[in-house]
A and B are shown apart, each in its own frame.
Chain A
Amino acid sequence: MTSATVLLPGQPLPSHLIAPPLPQCGPGCYELNGRILASVVGVPKRDGSVVSVMGREESGATPEVGSIVIGTISRLTTQQAHLTLTTSNDRPLPETSEEFQGVIRIGDIRLTERDKIKMGDCFRLGDLVKARVLSLGDARSYYLSTAANELGVMYAVSEAGNPLLPVSYQEMEDELTGRREKRKVAKPEGI
């Protein structure tokens, strides 16, 4: 039976996984009085000096520092772009009435020429943006950064309402009218 391998919160990890040297606790477990106990329903495993308990894959997908998130631009000021986040590390964020919010400050948009950036040349309302979480931010929003080649606008719609295709790191092109618009473009994967 496979059920024997499933641990429950509060249950000690099997002794062969915690043989000395006492491993560190990874996700899904914690230490109490020198013992390592599971904190989620899941299967234990040891990876070198770290033990963890693997629970449900889709659970707890809240953004953390370093997570790659995708969001839609919901508000723009000259200094900040506000996003409503939909995914974190390629997993949908839980559905909720209170949405996950992120902010990209103007200095965190790109690596170079930070002093010359204009917000309107980087993002427009409704753009789908990929970004990295810098910090948990303020009470409302996570602080995000797009300062890397693979981060920035993934998908956007032109002023004429057609999908835009990336042509460079600074520009996207309306595939029907051929008009170009400025964006902080994310490098498409696999190129």
Chain B
Amino acid sequence: MAATLPPQQHTAEAYSSAAGPSSSTTSAEVFKKLHPAQYLSRFLTKGYRSDGRKTIDWRDVSINAGSISTSNGSSLVRMGDTTMVCGIKAEIAEPTAQSPNAGYVVPNVDLPALCSPNFKPGPPGDEAQTISNWLNDLIVSSNTIPPSSLVISPGKSVWAIYIDVVCINYDGNAFDAAVLAVMAALRNVKLPKARYEEETTRTICSRTEKYPLQLGRIPLSCSFGIFESTHLLPDPTSYETPLLPTTLIIALDESNHACLIRQEGLGGIKGKSGERVLGEAWSMAEERVRVLRGILEVSGI
């Protein structure tokens, strides 16, 4: 019997012979499903990822700004197959007594059942809540929308900026795509000129005069995963993500200063110090962020 075959080959043949005659493409699909780690590993030894790009390549990105007419600013971002829509709506609110000179910024990310077979309908799940929190931290710590710039009348009236990101197609790396979608949509926002009327205690907006948001630092994020303690993989897909126990996120602003660095999982890369891995990721992130800023610049306002 097959006792002399090396194990990998043996299992592969077992799969390919799984159900009688079949073309090689379907057996590859079956192998991909049954043994994802081996499948990815074979691609990586040849220098490629399972979606066909080179090991350290990022996926192509496109940005389309301003297509949602019911929002004050919007964007559609595609990162490979991952697709995010961000819509921003501004409403008027009263500031809190503690901070009369601060508006509200409310970012939320939704990963609805529409975008992936693995999500269920209902309120935001763990991953969506996590990404929303990271996004909020990033926007607050980078001072992307200075809260003081949202004041219409101190202590009386301020803008509340609702940033809602909805995923339409989830093929991994939702955080990078969400951050990019938010930044593109923020650049696209036009707010009406507003004034607070003391007598009526109402805030009235102009129909004709509009102005863009004053933006602070614009961070962009780059995510990595580490596969079998050997490969540092940028921009992982949804197929790769479950195979990457260690993840690394680096977000940089315009002057390549870090806005957020996050590592999850204990694993590093065999034979490399953590410092060296971070250094490699950082220089890849600098290069990627430069490309993303280029696309962001031409995405239109």
Contact = CB atoms under 8 A, between A and B. Distances in A.
A and B touch in the complex (CB under 8 A): yes
Q: How large is the interface on A (under 10, 10 to 19, 20 to 34, 35 or more residues)?
A: 20 to 34
Given A166-B1, A188-B13, 14 more contacts: A70-B18, A87-B18, A89-B19, A90-B18, A90-B22, A92-B32, A97-B119, A130-B18, A155-B14, A163-B10, A165-B3, A166-B2, A189-B13, A189-B14
Contacts of B19: 68, 70, 87, 89-90, 130
B7 A175 contact: yes
Given A96-B117, A97-B118, A188-B14, A87 B33 contact: yes
Contacts of B271: none
B18 A165 contact: no
Interface in A153-169: 154-155, 163, 165-167
Contacts of A165: 1-3, 5, 7, 10
B30 A68 contact: no
Contacts of B17: 188-190
Contact of A90 (B14, B30, B119, B120): B30
Contact of A128 (B1, B2, B34): B34
Interface in A173-191: 173, 175, 188-191
Contacts of A28: none
Interface SS of B by simple majority: helix
Interface in A114-165: 128, 130, 154-155, 163, 165
Contacts of A80: none
Contacts of A92: 29-30, 32-33
A154 B17 CA distance: 10
A94 interface: yes
A74 B98 CA distance: 56
Contacts of B3: 165-167, 173, 175
Interface string B1-45: 111010100110111011110100011011011100000000000
A68 B19 CA distance: 6
A45 interface: no
A91 interface: yes
A184 B119 CA distance: 36
A101 interface: no
B2 A91 contact: no
B1 A154 contact: no
A172 B19 CA distance: 21
Interface of B: 1-3, 5, 7, 10-11, 13-15, 17-20, 22, 26-27, 29-30, 32-34, 117-120
Interface string A35-53: 0000000000000000000
Contacts of B117: 94-97
A97 B125 CA distance: 13
Interface of A: 68, 70, 86-87, 89-92, 94-97, 128, 130, 154-155, 163, 165-167, 173, 175, 188-191
Contact of B34 (A86, A97, A188, A189): A86
B261 to A, nearest CB: 32
21 contacts: A68-B19, A87-B18, A87-B19, A87-B33, A87-B34, A89-B19, A90-B22, A90-B26, A90-B30, A95-B118, A96-B117, A96-B118, A155-B11, A163-B11, A165-B1, A165-B3, A165-B7, A167-B1, A173-B3, A188-B17, A190-B13
B20 to A, nearest CB: 7
Nearest to A173: B3
Contacts of B11: 155, 163
A94 B3 CA distance: 33
A166 B117 CA distance: 36
Given A165-B3, A191-B2, A86 B33 contact: yes
A70 B38 CA distance: 18
B14 A154 contact: yes
A94 B119 CA distance: 14
A22 to B, nearest CB: 32
A163 B18 contact: no
B18 A188 contact: no
B122 to A, nearest CB: 12
Contacts of B10: 163, 165
The 10 A-B residue pairs with the shortest CB-CB distance in the complex, in nearest-first order? A189-B17, A90-B19, A92-B33, A68-B19, A95-B117, A163-B7, A90-B22, A154-B14, A188-B2, A87-B30
